[in-house]
Structure 1
Amino acid sequence: MVSHIWSILKQRDSLWVQWIHSYRLRGRNFWNCKETTTCSWSWRKILQLRPLVKEHIWSSLGAGTTISAWYDSWCHLGPLSNILSPRVITNAGFRIDAMVTDVYRGDAWAWPNIWRDLFPVLNQLDHVRPDHNKRDRLLWKDGDNLLDHSSFTVWDSLRIREQEVNWVSIVWFPQCIPRHAFLVWNSVRAKADMGDVDPKWSSIVNCLMTRRRVKSASSYVARLLVGATAYIIWQERNARLFKNQTRPPEAICEVILKIVRYKLMGVKFKSCATVKCLLGKWGIDEDAIEDNGG
């Protein structure tokens, strides 16, 4: 969704962005556009994200021809609409859709002198001026850092940070299946030599914690299997709740084992008797074993 907002603000050359500007915004500024009861779900969600992302959108002032004088963040005061109401702006003879270059005339800001008395913070902008030899730029602001927009920078700025849990290495490890790494549960544990582990979350975590530093094939399979099981069980839960679809336990186990088996078939293990025995349980021949010490 943030990428959509970025495209709108940048006026990216796409049919969707052109449609948004023509039929949704209709000449209004994105930050000032009101949410109506008749708008679509997706457009409403985009508008509802504005308070979250607004403080991160920074307009680097160049010529000022594409930056809203009132609603974009182009100076340290933030959007001037936080200081000046629409009535104050229009009563002074300015347009609501005015750009920065429209309110800078000659070598000074064109707002009336009375504003300097009513809003003395505006005097701090006397040293700020557009540069007609530079282009306006849209940047992502993360604290005091100004960055180019990317999915990573957005995620890193907006994500909720928590203390790292001690079992992180159980679900995030080399060659894990990423989409399985968010949910961890237990089932079909005999395939990972976990048949004697009590099917309680605390017991599963304790068992895997003892293996988290071990780089053996059985340790890798155990973590892979638990993650895959959790993901499929979660899928089954959603199917039963929202689609009224149910699969028998045998079919679910078969799907889980098939996913893990296909993953193991693509991994090259060190050649040893233990690995051969382990892969034999999964019906994988010795072609998947490579004597490279890895």
Structure 2
Amino acid sequence: MVNFWSSIFVLPKWFYTKVDSLCSGFLWNNNTSSAAGARVSWVNICKPKSEGGLGIRQLEEFEMVFRLKRLWLFFSASGSLWVPWLSKNRFGGRSLWLINDSPRFSMTVRSMIQLKQELQGLLRCSIGDEKTKLFWYDYWTKLGPLHLLFGPSGPRALRIPLNATVSQAVSNGHWNLPPARSDFAETLQVILSTISAPSDTDGSDVYLWRTQAGGFGASFSSRVTWERIHNPNPLVQWHSVVWFKKEIPRCSFISLTAFLRRLPTRDRYMAYPPASLDAVVALCRHLQGPHVQRAVVMLKLLSQVIVYNLWCERNGRIFRDVSLNQEAFFRMVDRGMRDRLLSPSLVTTFSPSLLKLYLWFLTLYS
């Protein structure tokens, strides 16, 4: 619902702050009345898993993707009636590049105008008849938007109006520019010598958007756009120990809080993260042998189940005044491992199976 309305309107920041607060309260307290007592800040929770977060996208940050998508829909002429209506009734038939921000526009339109500079690394225009592509503003050569290169004196130096399309720089099927009087003008003429002059038979101009491979394509990807505008944080070495294909979700979450030094176990005087967790990470990274891949999965799963049951044991001793002895605790961990390893999703034809590796591990260290 939030994504739907964000894709249509520019919502106020307090709205996203409130929704994030509700989500944080539900995650930590199982209610939406308050987020008090949260062990990890919502900003850190919304980091990618490889950066030590839960992989949830922060709404206010992802809202920028919707704003950029509106710009893509406008330039790509998506077929929506909103595009020609906006061009004719609000912009007076002029290009968005030539429109300045003004209070007379709605917040949605103003957000589009304010993001024009962000399009330089995301939007390109392929060569067509050049009747809609602006000579000075569109990214149609390797030099980028030419108005940034030539400055305010560019239109006078090249004798091309500021609102001219690329087709207006062509005469009788050839580029029609005055003799170069600057290094920039000379470089432009060299580049144009490698580009065929546009004609009516080339078809209409087509705008392209950044793709995951680094090039440009004719479709918009929200995920790729978010990755482009997201400010990355340092990667954590332990994310593959917490998140993997055969994980137990509740154990992964508790292990995440342990690695983030936010798991309440009344042992804050110890070094964090605990040496045992560091040892698991090192072992999983350097383990060798013929069945190393399945053995690493088994070790990751075992470490998560142990951490989870230690946390449950802590809660039982503090809140219910009950405790388990060493043997009973081992049976709890063993039961959790067997339940997971006997699940249909982990039953394979490979030999040895994860269950056999686990049983071998027990006989080796028991």
Amino acid at match of 2:173: D
**In 2, distance between residues paired with 1:3 and 1:166?**
34
Spell out, residue by residue over 1:266-289, the C-alpha distance to the aligned partner (whole angstroms, 9 max, x if none). xxxxxxx76773399xxxx99x84
Amino acid at match of 1:117: R
Change in 2 beyond 3 A, CA 1:222/1:7? farther
Following superposition of structure 1 onto structure 2, how do residues 26-45 of structure 1 map, counting pairs within 5 Å?
26-45=92-111
1:215 matches 2:297:
yes
* Counterpart secondary structure, 2:215: strand
The CA deviation at 1:5 is 1.9
Spell out, residue by residue over 1:229-257, the C-alpha distance to the aligned partner (whole angstroms, 9 max, x if none). xxxxxxxxxxxxxxxxxxxxxxxx9xxxx
**In 1, distance between residues paired with 2:306 and 2:163?**
60
Amino acid at match of 2:231: I
Which 5+ residue runs of structure 2 have no aligned equivalent? 1-64, 285-295, 310-318, 320-330, 348-352, 355-366
**In 2, distance between residues paired with 1:22 and 1:88?**
28
**In 1, distance between residues paired with 2:144 and 2:240?**
42
Residue 185 of structure 1 aligns with which residue? Answer: 257
| Counterpart among 240, 248, 260 of residue 169 in structure 1 | 240
* Counterpart secondary structure, 1:185: helix
Spell out, residue by residue over 1:28-64, the C-alpha distance to the aligned partner (whole angstroms, 9 max, x if none). 3223322224544444444333323313322121222
The CA deviation at 1:104 is 0.9
Residue 278 of structure 1 aligns with which residue? Answer: 336
Change in 2 beyond 3 A, CA 1:92/1:131? closer
The CA deviation at 1:165 is 1.9
**In 1, distance between residues paired with 2:308 and 2:95?**
49
Conserved in 1, the CA contact under 8 Å of 2:134 and 2:163?
yes
TM-score, normalised by the number of residues in structure 1? 0.58
| Counterpart among 130, 142, 156 of residue 76 in structure 1 | 142
**In 2, distance between residues paired with 1:206 and 1:38?**
61
Conserved in 1, the CA contact under 8 Å of 2:129 and 2:202?
yes
Task: Output the aligned Cα RMSD.
Answer: 4.7
1:138 matches 2:207:
yes
Amino acid at match of 1:55: G
Residue 13 of structure 1 aligns with which residue? Answer: 79
Conserved in 1, the CA contact under 8 Å of 2:246 and 2:297?
no
The CA deviation at 1:160 is 3.4
Residue 239 of structure 1 aligns with which residue? Answer: none
Following superposition of structure 1 onto structure 2, how do residues 93-112 of structure 1 map, counting pairs within 5 Å?
95-111=161-177
Change in 2 beyond 3 A, CA 1:274/1:221? closer
Residue 151 of structure 1 aligns with which residue? Answer: 222
Conserved in 1, the CA contact under 8 Å of 2:136 and 2:162?
yes
Change in 2 beyond 3 A, CA 1:120/1:38? same
Residue 60 of structure 2 aligns with which residue? Answer: none
Conserved in 2, the CA contact under 8 Å of 1:198 and 1:204?
no
**In 1, distance between residues paired with 2:242 and 2:104?**
43
Which 5+ residue runs of structure 1 have no aligned equivalent? 187-193, 226-252, 254-272
The CA deviation at 1:72 is 0.4
TM-score, normalised by the number of residues in structure 2? 0.49
Conserved in 2, the CA contact under 8 Å of 1:5 and 1:46?
yes
**In 2, distance between residues paired with 1:17 and 1:36?**
19
Residue 193 of structure 2 aligns with which residue? Answer: 126
